[in-house]
A and B are shown apart, each in its own frame.
Chain A
């Protein structure tokens, strides 16, 4: 490939091996000035290894990285930073007790005075200028800890810009942002493009990729698959490149007829979270719950599952009013809950796959007070096969599984307690497309087996593709209950943005 003035970054023949396994095999990547370059691939495809090499955290075995036509020293964090490569992280790494300005200039404080005294006013002025340029209204003297995740991200970007970054890597930058915040972020990204900054953008969200990206490079299993202008691709073709095969339709038609009512809630409220929410869900039915971040969706789910208390209203199971004080109660009544926060509320990382799967139904595997390992193994092995959980063995720690498989373990655990209704809260958050397809298939299987499903999701295609009815919440209130026929992305968004 001849050297091209347009290319700010050229990576060629990069190979990296971990204990004999090739994480990257002869990978290339070329990024132009002022473009948004999406880096796509399933988990384990080598994206993060590549980025770590780029910012100098890892050293490549072979290959070269050219920045503005000059070789970038391998495995040197400081050099990469000095030469203008910056990374905005999934988990923001700011110092919470310092102010915005102090964080932006952390490590290279300019003094503004002869004697080297730190001058906060001076810092604040500089920071304010920078933030104004970006069109962000955050006071530079605010402590970092009082900012929202989105605001922190803006500050990180400001920090990168103040560092004269030429290439900014954004790893899942929107995973914790509301739609409005995403819009602001995209505005900033477009400004950056104008200024000639190149963005390497990593995300699992297809709609985002096609909104913002100019060029897409796909990696699979450590191999370079190809680079295409975004305009030449559509979702299906991109997925085919990523997984190496056609997935078929993500949302197969299902013709299950719904049965009896399993769960209904009437005018339930929880002070400060949601109010007057009413709905019911039947055997073999998927009720989707849509809404923006902070609309109260997760709060409703937590209250039904007994993690929080409702302040008024009624919950009925199969027509009988019940009081749910704790998850134990909820499980007794046949309610299962798969949390949006897999790591926080889903699995126990240092227990094995088997031990996690049996956790909610453990007393079923005892005899004379002692656990029956064989019975546990049998049940877990079956669940691993049924849900197609990819694990070396049932005794593997869940910690070491991929996100999608961790999610399946949690679902398996919930299923073993034989629920009549399952609440799935963002069931595909942060897992890659192949695993997503499997989760969708699984939801349809559960539905076919007569389980009632409540699915909360921020991804509209998912909601539309799977739900029989859709409840839209906005600001803690019930905005609409739409039938499958009535629901489109536009109607849902219209209701979700109401008030």
Chain B
């Protein structure tokens, strides 16, 4: 009778569940604060304005990708092509940013457009076929990597214009541009998620696709929208990255999707869909950034860094599964 436990444990009492769930949501914020306090006690170099600026700048690319994938995961999907989209869009932008021949909006728009098309392609295949998003984006991940290599002919594209390099390397009123972009996009994505019909529909589709359908929601449109937005945000990340390292790299962004998905999950987005917040994802990305920065400051071997990161991801998922029950 061992296998009988599940259905009978389901009706746990409300108060207990809400408490655990609240704890889970607060958990990530608490963890973040604890890590920050710990680091500032261990090393005086951590809690300085320049270091914090650097952390946020470094986090910005992963955070942009994580925002996109948060939309996708909330609808119950996944996007593994993020890293490849970073490469493709970065290379496209770099191709148009090579000299001062075009004004800086041209490479930006070209990059964004390529991301939009790429994301829309993901959405199109996912909604028109019965193939799960995991498989579709696994395929487009490879396609994207190939496209980036074709477009760049396998070589980095450098000598980009100064105005383009300003996007990732410049400062506005002493604040690095990537931070400004991050803050703006955080606000925009939060509003989309919390304050628009589309955002609500994302939760509905991920929470119960059938009920969403029976409520008259056009499931396919919602999915198209999230994958396209994921593509756009990946393009923005690609542009910032390319501009920051002042080269379009066809092999850039490899593995970025995993960091982005990790940020979303650490931030409380449930892999089974239907829950998640942009604030959580931002904290998730910041936590990853802070830990990686802190371990660098402490000169911890990168071997251990990987172990630490893995432990954190598993911890977050365990917390998530506690929430699910």
Contact = CB atoms under 8 A, between A and B. Distances in A.
A90 B204 CA distance: 27
Contact of A57 (B9, B201, B214): B9
B284 to A, nearest CB: 19
B221 to A, nearest CB: 10
Contacts of B4: 55, 57, 87, 89, 93
Nearest to B323: A350
A406 to B, nearest CB: 11
B130 interface: no
Contacts of B194: 371
Contact of A77 (B2, B16, B196, B199): B2
A438 B234 CA distance: 51
A328 B218 contact: yes
Interface in B42-67: none
Contacts of A331: 216
Contact of B1 (A86, A90, A343, A413): A86
Interface residues of B, number: 39
Given A52-B8, A359-B200, A347 B1 contact: no
A244 B211 CA distance: 35
A348 interface: yes
Contact of A93 (B6, B204, B217, B218): B6
Interface stretch (A66-74, A283-291, A312-320, A360-368): A360-368
Contacts of A327: 213-216
A355 B215 CA distance: 12
A454 interface: no
A21 B196 CA distance: 39
B11 interface: yes
Contact of A360 (B2, B13, B16, B216): B216
Interface in A48-66: 48, 51-52, 55, 57
Contacts of B191: 370
A331 B216 CA distance: 7
A371 B216 contact: no
Q: Which of B2, B200, B217 has the most CB of A within 10 A?
A: B200
Contacts of B197: 362-363, 366, 371
A327 B212 CA distance: 10
A344 B210 contact: yes
Interface in B269-290: 274-275
Contacts of B71: none
B207 A351 contact: yes
Nearest to B191: A370
A493 interface: no
Contacts of A339: 214
B275 to A, nearest CB: 6
Contacts of A370: 191, 195-196
Interface in B1-37: 1-9, 11, 13-18
Q: Which of B6, B212, B215, B218 has the most CB of A within 10 A?
A: B215
A201 interface: no
Contacts of A345: 210-211, 213-214
A19 B215 contact: no
A305 interface: yes
B153 to A, nearest CB: 43
Given A345-B214, A371-B196, A87 B207 contact: no
A344 B1 contact: no
A93 B3 contact: yes
Interface in A327-382: 327-328, 330-331, 337, 339, 341, 343-351, 355, 359-360, 362-363, 366, 369-371
A355 B274 CA distance: 13
A21 B17 CA distance: 14
Given A348-B211, A351-B207, A413-B215, A48 B2 contact: no
Contacts of A347: 208, 211
B313 to A, nearest CB: 22
B312 to A, nearest CB: 24
A369 B196 contact: yes
Contacts of A273: none
Contacts of A87: 1, 4
Contacts of A371: 194-197, 199-200
Contacts of A51: 8
B5 A57 contact: yes
A190 to B, nearest CB: 25
Q: Which of A23, A307, A347 has the most CB of B within 10 A?
A: A347
Contacts of A348: 203-204, 207-208, 211-212, 274
Given A347-B208, A348-B208, A77 B200 contact: no
Interface in B205-245: 207-208, 210-218
Nearest to B14: A400
A326 B211 CA distance: 13
A81 interface: yes
B16 A417 contact: no
Given A344-B211, A359-B217, A371-B200, 9 more contacts: A19-B15, A52-B8, A77-B1, A81-B1, A87-B4, A93-B6, A348-B204, A350-B275, A351-B274
Which 6 pairs between the two chains have the least Cβ-Cβ distance? A348-B207, A360-B215, A331-B216, A348-B208, A328-B216, A359-B215
16 contacts: A23-B13, A77-B1, A80-B1, A86-B1, A327-B215, A327-B216, A347-B208, A348-B204, A348-B208, A349-B208, A355-B204, A360-B215, A360-B216, A366-B196, A369-B196, A371-B194
